[in-house]
Amino acid sequence: MSLPTNVIHAIVQAAISALSDYSTDQRGDIGSWIRITGLSALGQMLSVPTIYSQLDRETVDSAIGGIVKQGVEKLEPCRSQTYATLSQLRQSGVHWPGQEAMTFKTCSR
């Protein structure tokens, strides 16, 4: 089953919007749950070649930028999910501008 491009675009946009949720209530930062779910959803969706190929460059750039932004958040669960999402994208073969700047090297002492 395949979804129309406009539906895929709407779902990806919803996941990107989730990365900007900083809602709080008596339980604290509940927006972080939504951001983590958005990160996970983007990782799952963008790693599918048929979905990725239907997205325009602006949407992909917005998604990657939003994912990377979560990597510098102060909450460890958000950072952890960011790294898992970026790893999932790299392993699936997704490429984006600036990706080579994210190469990690092991240092020996």
Q: What band does 98 get if pLDDT is binned at 50, 70 and 90?
A: confident
Which range marks the domain in which residue 91 is found? 5-95
Position 1 scores a pLDDT of 58
Residue 41 in any domain: the answer is yes
Position 83 scores a pLDDT of 95
What is the model's pTM?
0.86
Q: How high is the mean pLDDT of the chain?
A: 90
Residue 107 in any domain: the answer is no
d(CA 18, CA 35): 5
Tell me the per-residue pLDDT of 40-76, one tens digit each, with 9 for 90 and over: 999 999 999 999 999 999 999 999 999 999 999 999 9
DSSP state of 53: T
Lowest mean pLDDT: which of 5-19, 38-52, 84-98? 84-98
Query: Structurally, how many domains does the chain consist of?
Result: 1
Residue 100 in any domain: the answer is no
Q: Give the torsion through C-alpha atoms of 35, 41, 47, 50, to 10 deg.
A: -130
Please classify residue 15 by burial: count the beta carbons closer than 10 Å to its beta carbon, then call 0-12 exposed, 13-18 middle and 19+ buried.
Answer: buried
Q: What band does 108 get if pLDDT is binned at 50, 70 and 90?
A: low
Residue 108 in any domain: the answer is no
- Residue pair 41/19 in contact (Cβ under 8 Å)? The answer is no
Residue 104, pLDDT above cutoff 70: no
CATH number at residue 60: 1.25.10
Residue 88 in any domain: the answer is yes
Q: Given CA atoms 85, 86, 92, 94 in this order, what sign does their dihedral have?
A: positive
d(CA 13, CA 83): 20
CA end-to-end distance (rounded Å), the chain: 52
